[in-house]
Amino acid sequence: MEKRLLLYLFIGCTLVANLEEFVAAKVRHYKFDVEYIYWSPDCEERMMIGINGRFPGPTIRAKAGDTIVVELKNSLPTEGVVIHWHGIKQLGTPWADGTASISQCAVNPDETFVYRFQVDKAGTYFYHGHYGMQRAAGLYGSLIVDKADGEEEPFHYDGELSLLLSDWWHESVHAQMLGLTSIPFRWVGEPQAILVNGRGQYNCSLAAHLTGETSSCKITNNQCAPVVLQVHPKKTYRLRIASTTSLSALNLAIGNHNMTVVEADGNYVEPVTVNDTDIYSGESYSVIIKTDQNSSLNHWISIGIRGRLPKTQNALAILNYHPNSPSKLPSYKPPVTPQWNDYTHSKEFTYKILARQGTQAPPANSDRQIALLNTQNKIDGYIKWSINNVSLVLPSTPYLGSMRFNLKNAFDTEKPPENFSEDYDVMRPPINPNSTEGSSVYKLKFNSTIDVVLQNTNALTGNVSEIHPWHLHGHDFWVLGHGDGKFRKNDVSKFNLRNPPLRNTVVIFPYGWTAIRFVANNPGAWAFHCHIEPHLHMGMGIILAEGVELISKIPNEALACGITGQVLMNNKRH
């Protein structure tokens, strides 16, 4: 009798535990209506892409383990749309990654597509358009995943703040794309404004009365009103920062306040205290700040451009100490952004970001090394970016569907180049600037460990090498190391295998290299590309695929285009 009672108690406790877990994990529903709107993000009205009539898009907030369901309606009159959930691995749902021609078909005008996926890990993320250059047109928003109930962060804070950073042009993305694919080539130029939570000011400064640099801003529209973060003195705050810029590398500083970096791309890092934070397109951070400064003042948050000669006014926001008025401007000059080409400063910050103790270490060895040479080239007179002399063009049939059903002629089937010439001089423009286009796939053995060396070079113009932040879909990776100049075989001995940070986006510095390692354990077809919007549009990316044969079912709606669309139609007829 006693044993039976104990068995009943055990079963009961197990059922309660499972029920609690079931109740804790929720399904969170959102409806997104993507449409063109008139908006004034920098006090100048322009047409842009909004969601549900607003910009930026709604903030999605969930807890680890929750399922997110987004019913996306495309109300754009003449173009398709998809949304990529940046930093979410899409384990078991590769078709929900939101990459046109890779994981799914673009959603046509007046059609609806339902994204359904689980968020498996707490962190700071965001979402954005991944068709054409729609991210640059305003299609983005924040996605924040909290710890599951009963779990705690490894750091304490009293409150939370968020900053979503972006850049903004007055010229439409359609005109920008035309210029990038024209002869003569027309570059997009520098942005008219840096936006903070979708707000900025064009051709004026909130601090003009202190600096005398430009005219003072006269804000008459709440859509471009300064962002104000309200805090109480003597408290500790978590500040989430994410960058969805189309082009700009940024630096953020808070007047009179240090920041302690504790999270990068949804992964905990060893706490490191800094005066300012570099953040590249596609990256996200959490920093801890203490409101221990003069509480009779408000304080500046200043964001400036790095890596390019800045022609854009620094963005300014306000850290508002209670009970000061939110409209009370700080009485001192804003922090000065480091010189745009002070790469020593940038490298020092980047190299400080290391994995928090207890983070999973990388495998000791890799099964395969792929070296990717980033070059600027020409194809029939058009300026392109190429990887190992191949400029990426996407097929009309999504890779995921064509590979899952072994369709022929859907994309280039030849094996893409995995290395580049040992005598290539990365310090000079290419001797032979001619390149080719291609849509081939790097096929990875499932569960194998892959090293990728990203090598930066000189562009077509002499003495020009740019910053490139690279983002990998479907995975986190360990950043094993960075180096100046050309990567050599003996540089492998310098790899950090003890505490490399886990990231989903990593920077390659001018004339330098970056090495990463990841495990190919997520069935799907995944983009790996420069997160600078014009660079990807010009071909700077590759496609990786692993375990596609293990995917059991792909929703028909994700495949209703190209050859897979024809297959689906034929199946219906029969």
Q: Which secondary-structure segment (H or E) carries 231?
A: strand 228-231
390-411 pLDDT, tens digit each? 999 999 999 999 999 999 899 9
Pick the CATH number of 27-146 from 3.40.50.12280, 3.90.1280.10, 2.40.50.100, 2.60.40.420: 2.60.40.420
**Do 159-355 and 368-565 show the same overall fold?**
yes
Q: Which residues contact 173 (CB under 8 A, 6 or more apart)?
A: 132, 133, 134, 136, 137
Q: Which residues contact 117 (CB under 8 A, 6 or more apart)?
A: 67, 68, 85, 88, 90, 93, 96
Which residue, 85, 87, 122, 123, is CA-closest to 240?
123
Domain ranges of the chain: 27-146, 159-355, 368-565
Q: What's the pLDDT at 12?
A: 43
Q: In angstroms, rounded to a whole number, what is the distance separating the alpha carbons of residues 126 and 471?
A: 13
Percent of the chain at pLDDT > 90 equals 90
pLDDT at 562: 78
**Fold topology of 159-355:** Immunoglobulin-like (2.60.40)
Q: Which pLDDT score is estimated for 5? A: 37
User: Could you read off the pLDDT of 128-183 as tens digits, one per residue?
Assistant: 999 999 999 999 999 999 999 999 999 999 999 999 999 999 999 999 999 999 99
Q: Which among 515, 529, 476 has a CA at the least distance from the CA of 355?
A: 476
Q: What local confidence, expressed as pLDDT, does residue 205 receive?
A: 93
DSSP letter for 568, please.
H
The pTM assigned to this predicted structure is 0.94
Report d(CA 378, CA 391) in Å as an integer. 10
pLDDT tens per residue, range 170-184: 999 999 999 999 999
pLDDT at 413 over 80: yes
Pair of tokens at residue 196: 């903070």
Is the previous residue joined to 94 through a cis bond, with omega within 30 degrees of 0? no
- The domain defined by 368-565 folds into Immunoglobulin-like (2.60.40)
pLDDT bin (cut points 50, 70, 90) of residue 572 is: low
Question: For 345-366, how does the pLDDT look when each residue is reduced to its tens digit (9 = 90+)?
Answer: 999 999 999 999 999 999 999 9
> Is the pLDDT score of 10 beyond 70?
no
pLDDT digit string (tens) for 521-564?
A: 999 999 999 999 999 999 999 999 999 999 988 999 899 887 77
**Structure confidence by residue, pLDDT tens digits, 221-261:** 999 999 999 999 999 999 999 999 999 999 999 999 999 99
Instruction: Note the pLDDT of residue 220.
Output: 87
CA separation for the pair 508, 510 (Å, rounded) = 7
- Check residues 467 and 408 and name the one with the higher pLDDT: 467
